Amino acid sequence: MLKNTKNRGLGRAITKRQKIAIAGVTTLGAAALAISAVPGNAQTTTAEAPTGKVAYSNEQIKDVKGSVTDQLARDSVKAEEMSAKHKAAVAAAKHRAAEAAAKHRAAKATAAKKKAEAERKAKEAASRSAKRIQVKPVAAKTYANNLDGWIREALDIMKKHNIPGTYDGLYRNTMRESSGNPNAINNWDINAQNGIPSIGLLQVIKPTFDAYHVPGTAFSQYDPVANLTAAANYAADRYGSIDNVNSAY
């Protein structure tokens, strides 16, 4: 019987070589699918799986992780450096502010001290001026060079030394003893006979004059003020006061 020549190509049988080629393609496709399904960290057991490709994929992941970690570390270091710089800047600003405040306080204290010193000096100057105004020079007291002046000067000196006596007591006894003559001398009484004559306004002998001499007066029996004060001092010691003497003493 004759064969169908129209469908001849369709009816041709697959050769052995073709079968082998088809099987190889199928095997390669399955291997590719298997490789795609296996996790990145898994190990393949098939002989056909290309182990080199898996190792290459793991290295890439490690490199990515390392790069990210390094970047994070660098960012952390930069953040810490920025924070440290910020803290240092804040501390420096506070230090400068503290120094400025201290300088301001010191300047203020110095100004206050200078002001106080100026005020003190001004007060002292004003006080000195006031004292100069208040303290008026007192003219030295003068006495007449006569019996009245001698008695008044003697009374002022007696007052300073708490020696009692009055103007009347001095005047009365002076007039009786020497009539107011400061150079009067007794050359006839017992004292004169003993070599110590009575001399001056109140006729005082040398031993008595020396014993009762009043400081601040002359060391001479002939000096009227020295003679009056020494005699009054002796009378105060012997009679209580020159006022109590009414005769030779």
Long-range contacts of 71-74 (CB under 8 A, 24+ apart): none
pTM of the model: 0.47
pLDDT computed for residue 247 by the predictor: 85
Rounded average pLDDT over 164-186: 97
pLDDT computed for residue 218 by the predictor: 97
CB 242 within 8 A of CB 155: no
Alpha-helix runs per DSSP H in 48-145: 51-134
Beta strand residue intervals within 160-240, DSSP E: 185-186, 198-199
For residue 34, pLDDT over 70 is answered with: no
CB 197 within 8 A of CB 184: no
Top-confidence residue, 40 or 209? 209
Give the C-alpha separation, 4 to 152, whole Å. Answer: 192
For residue 8, which amino acid is it? R
pLDDT computed for residue 159 by the predictor: 97
For residue 58, pLDDT over 60 is answered with: no
CB 154 within 8 A of CB 169: no
pLDDT band, very low/low/confident/very high, at 64 (cuts 50, 70, 90): low
Question: Residue 201: what are its φ and ψ, rounded to 5°?
Answer: -60, -40
Pick from 217, 216, 191, 215: nearest CA to 204: 191
Extract the tokens encoding 198: 């009575």
Give the C-alpha separation, 69 to 91, whole Å. Answer: 32
Q: Return the DSSP state at 204.
A: B
**What's the whole-number average pLDDT of the chain?**
80
Percent helix, percent strand, percent coil in the chain, to nearest 5 = 65, 0, 35
pLDDT band, very low/low/confident/very high, at 36 (cuts 50, 70, 90): very low
Give the C-alpha separation, 21 to 238, whole Å. Answer: 174
pLDDT band, very low/low/confident/very high, at 124 (cuts 50, 70, 90): confident
Residues 6+ positions from 169 with CB-CB distance below 8 Å:
232, 241, 242, 243, 244, 245
Angle at 196 between CA 191 and CA 201, to 5 degrees: 85
Give per-residue pLDDT as tens, 190-206.
999 999 999 999 999 99
CB atoms within 10 A of CB 200: 26
